[in-house]
Structures are given as structure tokens and as C-alpha cells.
Structure 1
């Protein structure tokens, strides 16, 4: 005959095993969809469209929509920024030169150098997609709870978000122009051979 403590341990162990199996299946699903970039983003866009339709038809949950939009803007900015900020590297280099450190003569490769330096993002595309998809699913589930339906005057939120988006993107574009980097590889493929 089994004691009650053995029965409880078996239940917890079984629950833990199910959780591990669910995690493994989730990871396998993510591994299978990894190479299909266009289809992943189309799926996320479809999910976002369902979320927006839910907001429009329900006439509520504007705070959830606003928080979701701010989070997506934050992800977009991290996606557009380089992993190593050139302005911070410039400041460190100036401090080393002023201090007369050992590396005072060493500097980063300039445009005249032929060294190839790929654009390394602060937030890779895969993590951007995964975070955006998870956030959209969470926001969609929040629209099914009355607790998150806070009454607000939504036009103010829309105007505030548009102003925030415009100012943030203007600053990001100025940063891109100042440090001469483009976060996209469209149309810049290296061509080898004679022309």
C-alpha cells in the first residue's frame, strides 16, 4: 500500500515530466519554423490583425493596445540599433587618446579600410519575431479579461503614440546618418568576378 507522501511525489513528478515534454515540443516547433522567415512574419502579421480586429469590434482594451504598441516600438528600435553603439565607442576612444593609454594609436577601421564589418544587431531578427509574437498572443489573451479594459479616451493615446514614434524614429535615423550605417542588407550584395 502506498503512503500519501509517495502519491504526492508521484503526482509532482508526473506534472514536472509533462511540463518538460511540453517545453520540448514547443522547442521542436520553434526549430521547425526557424528557416521560414517570410511565413513566420506573415503569421505574426495575421495574429496582429486578429488582435486589432478584436480591439476595433469590442470597442475597448485601448490601454492593452497602447502598451502592446509601445513594446513593439521598443523591439523595433533594438532591431534597428547596432549591438555596439558607435557613439559609445567614439567616447571611449577619445578618452583613451586623451589619457595617453597604450592603445592611443589604435583605432577602429575607417571607411578607407577594405575590411568588411557586417551589421550586428542589438536584437536579432529571430528574437524580434519571437518577442513580437509572444507579446501579440499575450495582448490578445488580455482582451478576454474585463480587468484590463480600463476606460480611456483612445484618440489621445493614438496621438501620443504617433508623436512618440515620429520623434523616436527621427532620432534613430539621425543616429544612422551620423555614424553611416544601414541596418538592412537589401540591394547591397557583394558581387565577385569581373564586370
Structure 2
């Protein structure tokens, strides 16, 4: 009989916590959904979080390994953002091609990592990295200029490979302006309205 009382006490303690977690998840998702159509505001918020992180690292004069890891993660996200969902190098596409300016038919560029997920992952990464700066176990002493030079070399080599891929398969991962339909030229000009 006493065992049932202990189980009910544990169950009653967990229920409010689970309810609070569910309410928090719903509220968080609500605000994420509301932010979706406002990319400028989202990216400005991420920029503010990034500035706070950089200020924290600068003022503490440490956590360079955390910053390096964050930089590698962001580089990985950037490659996913600039890459097509279906890579023609990896999969044999029977006649299907990536969109290009010179193609007859407009085919939208579908990213491997959509813009919203790219933004969300970067923002979450900056927040996690910022929280890590409050724990001294992550402050490994390193000579940061070497890490910075290595990251720059890695960035240049990775971007060179990505740009060569864009040139080889003739695609542009950014849409510039609104796509407009240009109709086929009329074969007979005498059918025009007077």
C-alpha cells in the first residue's frame, strides 16, 4: 500500500513539470512561426546574439576553442545552405539539371539546408556557445592566432571548392529579384490588336 503512495507522489510531481514543458514548447513554436516571414528581423536578432558572444569572448580573453568550434559549425552550415538538395556529382540525374540563367525552363534552386533552418541552427549555436563561456572547463588554453589562421585556410579552401562546383554545374544559390515569365515571341505580327 505504501508503494502506491510513493508512485503517486512521483507522478504528481512530474505532471506539472511536463505540463510546463509542453506549454513552453507551444509558446516557443508559436513565436518561431511568427518570425518565419520576417527574415531581416530574425537575422538582426542573430547578429545581436553574435555581438554579445564576441564581446563575452573579448572581455573574458578566453574560450578560443569554443569560438573555433562555433566557426567550424557555421562553415558546415554555410556549405549546406549554398549546396543544392540534389547534388549532380553524387547522383546521376537523367536530364535533370540545376537552374541556371541560360536555361529555357525555370527550375527553382532547392537548398540542402533551407534559410529558416540555417538561421535557427546558427542562432542556437551562438546561444549554446555563449552558455559554454560560463563554464571554465571549456576554457582550454591555446594560442588563438594559429586557430584563426587554420580556420581562414579551411574557409578559403572550402569556399573555393563550393564556387568551383557552382561554376561547373552552372547554378546560382541566390535568387536576385523576382523571376518573370517572358512569353514566346509571336510568329505572326498581323494578329495584333489595332
Taking the TM superposition and a 5 Å limit, the aligned residue runs for 1:4-43 are: 4-43=6-45
If the length of structure 1 is used for normalisation, what is the TM-score?
0.85
Note the residue ranges of structure 2 that are not aligned, 5 or more in a row. Answer: 185-194
What are the residue-to-residue correspondences of 1:92-107 with 2, within 5 Å? 92=92, 107=95
Deviation readout 1:98-146 (Å, 9 max, x if unpaired): xxxxxxxx62269786322110000000000000000000000000110
Question: What secondary structure sits across from 2:90 in the alignment?
Answer: helix
Distance in 2, Cα, partners of 1:123 & 1:87? 18
Q: Secondary structure at the match of 1:14?
A: helix
Deviation of 1:12 (Å):
1.2
Which among 99, 108, 112 is matched to residue 96 of structure 2?
108
Cα distance in 2 for residues equivalent to 1:116 and 1:8: 60
Cα shift readout 1:42-77 (whole Å, capped 9, x = no counterpart) = 110111011011111111000000000000000000
SS of structure 2 residue aligned to 1:185:
coil
Runs of 4+ displaced beyond 4 Å: 109-113, 191-194
Q: Structure 2 vs 1, CA of residues 186 and 15 (structure 1 numbering), >3 Å: closer, same or farther?
A: same
Give runs of aligned pairs for residues 163-182 of structure 1, distance below 5 A.
Answer: 163-182=153-172
Per-residue deviation, 1:159: 0.2
Query: Alpha-carbon deviations, 1:18-39, whole Å to 9, x = none?
Result: 1111111111111111111001
130-139 or 16-25, which deviates more: 16-25
Q: Distance in 2 between matches of 1:188 and 1:15?
A: 48
Return the offset for 1:163: 0.3
Which range is displaced more, 169-178 or 49-58?
49-58
**Bigger shift: residues 109-118 or 137-146:** 109-118
Q: Count the aligned residue pairs.
A: 179
SS of residue matched to 1:88: coil
Give yes or no for the alignment of 1:84 onto 2:83: no
Instruction: Give the secondary-structure state (helix, strand or coil) at the position aligned to 2:89.
Output: helix
Report the equivalent of 1:122: 112
Q: Is the 8 A contact 2:88 2:97 kept in 1?
A: no
Secondary structure of the structure 2 residue equivalent to 1:87: coil
| Stretches of structure 1 lacking an aligned partner (at least 5 in a row) | 94-105
Query: Which has the bigger relative contact order, CA under 8 A and spacing at least 6?
Result: 1
3-state SS of paired residue (1:3):
helix
